[in-house]
Amino acid sequence: MPPPGGQTRRVRILVTAGPTREPIDPVRFLTNRSSGKMGYALAHAFQHAGHSVLLVSGPTDLDVPDHVDFIPVETAADMCDAVRHSIGRMDIAVFAAAVADYTVRDPAPEKIKKSSDPLTLELVKTTDILGSAREPFGFEGTLVGFAAETNDLEANARDKLTRKRCDLIIANDVSKPGIGFDSDRNEVLLVYPTHNEQVPETTKHDLAHRLAHAILTLHAERVGCEP
């Protein structure tokens, strides 16, 4: 849907979504419980509002929303490469992916046999993609991250806001039953540099539209135009 009557400038938005898969050997990998629903719902909401969306996603069971550009990736390193190559063309970048923080140092080229007990895997840190957006990637647009926390929600989110030089962190408490990972519902705290805003529990679909509106408004304030 094009922006109505030229009142709204078409904004270019990158959304990362889903989990990543870090190979152990050709048949096994490390991953996490992210369904990708929040990121896909956000991509749809931005597209529905008339904007141009690139979705970079790890493996999910979800259909790619219509009219959204799509780069499928597997590993955190693949996602990092896709973001590095595309973020320079974007006005807004929203990092909804649950990127693995660690990857296997030397994945086995052949299937690991059940011989050693215990089996030790050596894990090394992946690149913090969101944390690389400003420097070294040089992104100057509106930068939005997510924080999934089990404790001290606001303090941890505010630390990420500063550390990763974001304009907004969307924080959710993953210890609360029935919301967040795997669920169709979520409740979030929006952590801005100057204040917080609570968004009460709702469907991920409804939340995505509210978040898209909040992010577009924030972007418009930063660049000094109508949302």
Is residue 157 within the footprint of ligand CTP (CB under 6 A)?
no
Least separation in angstroms between CB 202 and ligand CTP: 20
Binding pattern to ligand CTP, positions 8-27, x when CB under 6 A? --------x-----------
Q: Select 13 or 99, whichever has its Cβ closest to ligand CTP.
A: 99
Only segment of 5-13, 42-50, 103-111, 124-132 that touches ligand CTP (CB under 6 A):
124-132
Distances from the Cα of 96 to the Cα of 24, 109, 221, angstroms: 24, 31, 22
Least separation in angstroms between CB 225 and ligand CTP: 26
CA quadruple 209, 215, 218, 222: dihedral sign: negative
Binding pattern to ligand CTP, positions 44-73, x when CB under 6 A? ------------------------------
- Output the DSSP codes for the chain: -PPGGGTSPPPEEEEEESB--EEEETTEEE-----SHHHHHHHHHHHHTT-EEEEEE-S-SPPPPTT-EEEE--SHHHHHHHHHHHGGG-SEEEE--B--SEEESS--SSPPPTTSSS----EEEPP-HHHHTTTTT---SEEEEEEEESS-HHHHHHHHHHHTT-SEEEEEETTSTTSSTT-SEEEEEEE-SS-EEEEEEEEHHHHHHHHHHHHHHHHHHHHTS--
Q: Select 76 or 191, whichever has its Cβ closest to ligand CTP.
A: 76
Amino acid identity for residue 210 in this structure: R
Residues taking part in catalysis: 32
Q: Select 21 or 160, whichever has its Cβ closest to ligand CTP.
A: 160
Rule CB under 6 A: choose which of 25, 74, 128, 206 binds ligand CTP.
Answer: 128
Least separation in angstroms between CB 150 and ligand CTP: 10
Least separation in angstroms between CB 210 and ligand CTP: 18
Is residue 99 within the footprint of ligand CTP (CB under 6 A)?
yes
Is residue 188 within the footprint of ligand CTP (CB under 6 A)?
no
Is residue 90 within the footprint of ligand CTP (CB under 6 A)?
no
Contact positions toward ligand CTP, by CB under 6 A? Answer: 16, 76, 95, 97, 99, 101, 126, 128-130, 145-147, 160
